[in-house]
């Protein structure tokens, strides 16, 4: 019995602890547009696309800050990885579209830092249409936009730096 305990205890994984940090939506620099992209993989849908980048390109926007809530996708799109990826054609298309925007920044953000995008992404997973365009913000979204513009912070649990090694 003691031998079994010793084997199990010695093979235990180190405990991964998390600490809260405050995150919030950040306002843009003057004359910049922000494109927020949320993973929205609820329901394990295989749909993905660069439609928002096409819109930015067709509007001839000169400066776009692209924020993604998935760090690995951000690395793929911005070219910060050399790993072979399954979605090479899609990433290639996104890079090509980004090349049509003279000034662009690609940033990672925590999902909690952009409640509007997160709410819209969740709504889209239940829609039948491939693309929705609202002429006015929905009531739920208007409230979240007010919170964002006021600089409201939200809590995010992150792994402690000692867990990352």
Question: Would you state the pLDDT for residue 5?
Answer: 52
Question: For residue 68, what pLDDT is reported?
Answer: 82
Give the CA-trace dihedral at 75, 16, 118, 152, to 10 degrees: -110
Q: Please tell me the predicted confidence (pLDDT) of residue 42.
A: 47
- In this prediction, residue 32 carries a pLDDT of 96
Predicted model pTM: 0.70
Q: According to the 3-state scheme, what is the secondary structure of 8-47?
A: HHHCCCCCCCEEEEEECCCCCCCCCEEEEECCCCHHHCCC
What pLDDT score was predicted for residue 9?
54
CA angle at 113 for the pair 119 and 120, rounded to the nearest 5°: 15
What is the chain's pLDDT, residue by residue, as a tens digit (165 residues)?
555 555 555 565 667 788 999 999 888 899 999 888 776 544 444 555 567 888 898 999 999 998 887 776 767 777 766 565 677 777 788 888 889 999 999 888 888 888 888 888 788 777 787 777 788 888 989 999 999 889 999 999 988 866 555
Which domains does the chain possess? Answer: 15-163 (3.30.420)
pLDDT at 144: 92
pLDDT of residue 82: 59
At 8 the pLDDT is 54
Kind and range of the H or E element at 98? helix 88-98
- 8 Å CB contact between 52 and 93: no
């Amino acid at each position: 019995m003691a031998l079994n305990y010793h084997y199990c205890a010695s093979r235990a994984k180190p405990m991964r602890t998390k600490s809260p940090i405050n995150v919030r939506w950040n306002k843009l620099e003057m004359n910049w547009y922000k494109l927020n992209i949320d993973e929205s993989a609820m329901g394990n849908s295989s749909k993905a696309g660069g439609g928002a980048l096409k819109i930015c390109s067709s509007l001839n926007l000169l400066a776009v800050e692209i924020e993604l809530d998935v760090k690995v996708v951000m690395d793929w799109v911005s070219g910060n990885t050399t790993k072979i990826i399954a979605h090479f054609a899609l990433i290639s298309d996104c890079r090509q579209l980004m090349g049509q925007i003279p000034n662009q920044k690609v940033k990672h953000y925590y999902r909690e830092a952009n409640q509007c995008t997160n709410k819209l992404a969740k709504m889209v997973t239940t829609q039948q249409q491939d693309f929705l365009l609202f002429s006015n913000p929905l009531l739920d979204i208007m409230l979240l936009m007010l919170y964002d513009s006021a600089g409201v912070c939200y809590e995010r649990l992150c792994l402690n730096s000692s867990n990352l090694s």
